[in-house]
Amino acid sequence: MTLAEMNFFQRMLYILERYSGSLLRGAATTMAIAIICTALGCVIGFAVGLVQTIEPKKKDGLFKRGLLKVVKAILTAYVEVFRGTPMMLQAAFIYYGASSLFNINLGMWTAAIIIVSINTGAYMAETVRGGILSVDPGQKEGARAIGLSQSQSMMLVILPQALRNVMPQIGNNLIINIKDTCVLSIIGTVELFFTFRSISGALYTYFEAATITMIIYFILTFACSRILRWVESKMDGPSNFDLATTDMLAFTSGLTKYDEKKGGTH
Amino acid sequence: MEEILKIEHLVKDFGNNKVLKDIDFSVNKGDVISIIGSSGSGKSTLLRCINMLEDATGGSILYHGKDILKGEVNEDAYRTRVGMVFQSFNLFNNYTVLDNCILGQTHALKRNKTEAKAKAMQYLTKVGMDQYINAKPRQLSGGQKQRVAIARALSMDPEVLLFDEPTSALDPEMVGEVLDVMSNLARTGMTMLVVTHEMAFARDISSRVMFMSDGKIEEEGSPKEIFYNPKSERTKEFLSRFTNG
C-alpha cells in the first residue's frame, strides 16, 4: 500500500513507525533546551531583577551612585531590546552576527542556549523585580533590625518569598520556551519543529505530521504545567489557614489541634 | 549608671515636614522608658532613627560614646545589640517559629546551630511559645506572633530592646499576653524603650516616661510625675483624654 492509498490514521501510524526515533530525539532536544534555558533565564532574571531593585543609599559616594545608574541603564536597555524584538530575528542576528563579525562559529547547542536564555532572562527580570517589590517591606525591616546585612536579608528572607511569588511565571516561561524553541529551526537546531518539517517535507503528509507533532508538544507542556503546580503546592505547605492551638478548651471553629511533629494543623 | 545610648540634637525631616525637632535624651542600663504621645508626634520615627531604619537628618546618636550616624560603629553589628520589635511583627513568613529565632544568631552573630537553637528555645519558652516551634507565622494569632517576635529579638542577646507600638495591631484580648511578657522582661532588668498607647503599662512598668508632642520631648519624668503631676498643659490635655475616655 502506498502512502496515497492510506487513510489518515494509517498515515499517522506509518509516520510513527518510521520516524518515532527522530520525533523522540526532537522532543528531547526541545525539552532539554527549554529546561536549561528557563533555568539559565531565571538566573539572569534574578540577577538583573535584583540589581534593578537596589536603591542607592544616602551615604554612597558619587561614583557608586553613578555606577549603579549606568548599570541599571544598560540592564534596562537589555530588557527592552530582547523583549521588544522577535526571538527568531535575535537567533539569526546572534548566530550569523557571531560568525560574520567575530568569526566565531557558535555550535548549534551553544547558539540555541545563549539565545533562548537571554531572551527568557529579559522577561524574567521584570517578573523578578515585581516579585521582590511584592514582598512586604516589613520583612526586610525585620531582617535588618536583627542585624542581618543587606545581602543576607535579600538571600535569606526576601528572595525565597519572591521566588514563591514568581513561580507561576517561571512555569509560564518554561511552557513558552517549549513552544518557542521552534524558531531555532531558523539556525538549524534539530528540535521537534525541525523534525516535523523534515518528516512533512520527506513524505508530503503535512496534516498527519502536524497532528502528531502538536500532540507531542501538548503532552510536554501539559505535563510541565502539572508538575510545576505540584511544586508550588509543596512550597506552600498545608493549605489550611486555621490557627494552631494546643489548648483543648479553645478548640473551636477556626482553631485546629496543633501537631507538634508535623509542625502544622491537621 | 552605665549609659548605653545618648541621643543629642536629633533632627529628622521628611521633605519639608520636620518630624523630629532637636531630641535629647539618654538611655542607661536597666532603664524602661515609655514614650507616649499622640499619633504623628514622632514617637515611631524616633525609634526607627535609633535603629537606623530611617536616616536621621541631623544630630547624633551615641552608642557607648560612638556616633552611629557618623559610621563609627558597624551598622549591622550595632543592630544586633539594639533589637527592635515592630507593630506589625515582621516575622519571616518563609521560616518556622524556631528558624525565625535562629536565623539572626547563625548569620549575624555567627553562632553555631546547636548554641543558637538552645538560645532560641530558652527565649521561646520564656514567652510561652516553645510548643509552636515548627509552626509557620501564618498559623499563629497576632499575640502569638508578637511573642515570637520578642523571642527573636531576645535571642540576639541585645543590650537594648526597642518596642514600636507592640500591641497596637492586636485584638484587645491578645494585648494582655504580650504586655505580660514585656512586664516580665522589664522586671528581669532588660533595658527597654517602648513606644506605646498602653497608659497602664507606661504608668506601672516603666522607670521613666517621655511625653512627645509635635516632634519634641514635651515632658520627661518618673511615671508618678507624668501621670499624677504633669507640668505641661499639653501633657495634661493628652492624659485627660485617657482618664476621661
- A33-65 confidence digits (pLDDT tens): 999 999 999 999 999 999 998 887 766 778 888
**Alpha-carbon A251 to chain mean position:** 44
Taken as a whole, chain A contains a residue count of 266
Query: Percent of chain A, pLDDT > 90?
Result: 42
The set of cell numbers assigned to B54 is 530611617
Helices (H) and strands (E) in chain A, counts: 9, 3
Report the alpha-carbon distance of residue A78 to residue A85 in Å, rounded.
11
**What is the per-residue pLDDT across B141-177, written as a single tens digit (0 to 9) for each?**
999 999 999 999 999 999 999 999 999 988 888 899 9
Nearest CA distance, A37 vs chain B (angstrom): 27
* CB–CB contact B136 A264 (8 Å): yes
* CB–CB contact A146 B156 (8 Å): yes
Nearest CA distance, A42 vs chain B (angstrom): 20
Those residues with Cβ within 8 angstroms of residue A225's Cβ, 6 or more apart along the chain or in another chain: A171, A175
pTM of the model: 0.82
Strand ranges (DSSP E) for B46-190?
A: 58-63, 66-67, 82-85, 160-164
Report the alpha-carbon distance of residue A210 to residue B176 in Å, rounded.
70
Mean pLDDT of A12-25: 86
- Closest listed residue to residue A182, CA positions, set A197, A169, A171: A197
- Closest listed residue to residue B10, CA positions, set B44, B61, B54: B61
Element (H, E) at A150: helix A150-152
Confidence of residue A112 (pLDDT cuts 50, 70, 90): confident
CA atoms within 13 A on the CB side of B102: 15
Q: What is the mean pLDDT of chain A?
A: 85
A154-163 own/partner pairs: CB under 8 Å, 24+ apart: A154/A50, A156/B92, A156/B103, A156/B107, A157/B92, A157/B94, A157/B103, A158/A132, A159/A46, A159/A50, A159/A132, A160/B94, A161/A135, A161/B93, A161/B94, A162/A128, A162/A131, A162/A132, A162/A134, A162/A135, A163/A131
Chain B: which residues have CB within 8 Å of chain A?
51, 53, 55, 71, 76-80, 83-84, 86, 88-94, 96, 103-104, 107-109, 131-136, 138-141, 149, 152-153, 156
Mean pLDDT of B45-69: 93
* CB–CB contact B132 A148 (8 Å): no
**What is the per-residue pLDDT across B218-235, written as a single tens digit (0 to 9) for each?**
999 999 999 999 999 999
Strand ranges (DSSP E) for B128-226?
A: 160-164, 191-195, 208-213, 216-221
Mean pLDDT of A208-233: 91
Mean pLDDT of B11-29: 93
B158-171 as b/e: b if 16+ CB within 10 A: bbbbbbbbbbeebe
Q: Is the pLDDT of residue A166 over 50?
A: yes
* CB–CB contact B104 A265 (8 Å): no
Q: Is the pLDDT of residue A251 over 60?
A: no
**What is the per-residue pLDDT across B96-142, written as a single tens digit (0 to 9) for each?**
999 999 999 999 999 999 999 999 999 999 999 999 998 899 889 99
For B23, the 3-state DSSP assignment is strand
CB A71 within 8 A of CB A153: no
Q: How many other C-beta atoms lie within 10 A of the C-beta of residue B221?
A: 16
Report the alpha-carbon distance of residue A219 to residue A24 in Å, rounded.
12
Report the alpha-carbon distance of residue B186 to residue B72 in Å, rounded.
29
Report the alpha-carbon distance of residue B86 to residue A143 in Å, rounded.
12
Residues linked to residue B35 through DSSP beta bridges, in sequence order: B195, B210
Residues linked to residue A9 through DSSP beta bridges, in sequence order: none
Q: State how far the alpha carbon of B29 is from the alpha carbons of B153, B159, B212, in Å.
A: 17, 8, 22
By CB neighbour count within 10 A (0-12 exposed, 13-18 middle, 19+ buried), where does A232 fall? middle
**DSSP string of B125-151, one letter each residue:** HHTT-GGGTT--GGGS-HHHHHHHHHH
Chain B's closest residue to A244, CA to CA, is: B139
* CB–CB contact B108 A152 (8 Å): yes
